[in-house]
Amino acid sequence: MLFRRLQEFFFPRQCVVCGQRLALGELYVCPACLLKLPFEEEMDWRMNRHILRWREEHPALAKCGALCIYRRENAAARLVHEMKFTRDHDLGRWLGRMAARRLAPTGLFDDIDALVPLPLSRQRRRRRGFNQAESIAHGISEELGLPVRTDLLVRHQDRESQTHFRLPDRFRNGRDLFSLAEDAAIAQGQHLMLVDDVMTTGATIMGAVGVLESFSDIRISTFTWAWVNLSTEVWIQAWRESEA
């Protein structure tokens, strides 16, 4: 305890969101910023706008969920940015544990057999040193005891950051990114949950859903730590343009 206090004195930790010094025992975010996190309030995971947009194309889709609403520079965005660009594996696990504790009572994780983090390509994984989706998945696993499966999907390439792309281009860029691993273990009859950090249009994670649907008698759900609440009109227009 004395060592920890000395460490805190000489190397004070700061809140990722506001920069305020954290008290002993506080992790990553101060209590005031935790209260301000933009938590998702629509918790009908089987019938929210995100799942209704995709269910016709992906009949195996069971639930879509997220912990927070993502907007540029809000508290959720800052946490995701800190995790990804400082390569903080421990922060990713903490985000996963937080999500599991808050959302387990809502039924989002009920009946899930395994968590499947969206993979990075080998090149991106080598450069970055970790996969943020995998870190979040392991945090959920630590809290709920669900297994994490990284043996099912392969990502062929990582497209450049989608930040500066128009929405229709984001749909196009999300296609044909994944395939089943050559030695993928059988997943028939299981309920798998894909895990990622952020969903914008949903095109990337639904590309992975489409690949997993090749297993028979399978159900697939998705969890992203945060998602962007695009209006239905904007989403439909972008989808149509991407198909043109």
pLDDT tens by residue, 3-47: 444 455 445 789 999 989 998 878 899 999 999 899 999 999 999
Of 82 and 161, the structure prediction assigns the larger pLDDT to 82
What is the CATH classification number for the domain harbouring 125?
3.40.50.2020
Q: Find the mean pLDDT for residues 76-84.
A: 92
1 in a domain, yes or no?
Answer: no
16 in a domain, yes or no?
Answer: no
Give pLDDT tens digits for 182-229.
877 778 899 999 999 999 888 889 999 999 998 888 999 999 999 988
**H-type helices in 120-197, by residue range?**
122-128, 132-144, 167-173
235 in a domain, yes or no?
Answer: yes
Alpha-carbon gap, residue 40 to 216, rounded angstroms = 32
118 in a domain, yes or no?
Answer: yes
pLDDT at position 32 is: 94
Alpha-carbon gap, residue 193 to 114, rounded angstroms = 6
Stated length of the chain = 244
64 in a domain, yes or no?
Answer: yes
27 in a domain, yes or no?
Answer: no
pTM score of the predicted model:
0.86
207 in a domain, yes or no?
Answer: yes
Q: Are 192 and 116 in contact (CB under 8 A)?
A: yes
Number of structural domains in the chain: 1
Whole domain around residue 236: which residue ranges? 39-243
Give the up-direction half-sphere exposure of residue 61: CA atoms within 13 A in the CB hemisphere.
27
23 in a domain, yes or no?
Answer: no
**pLDDT score of 165 more than 80:** no
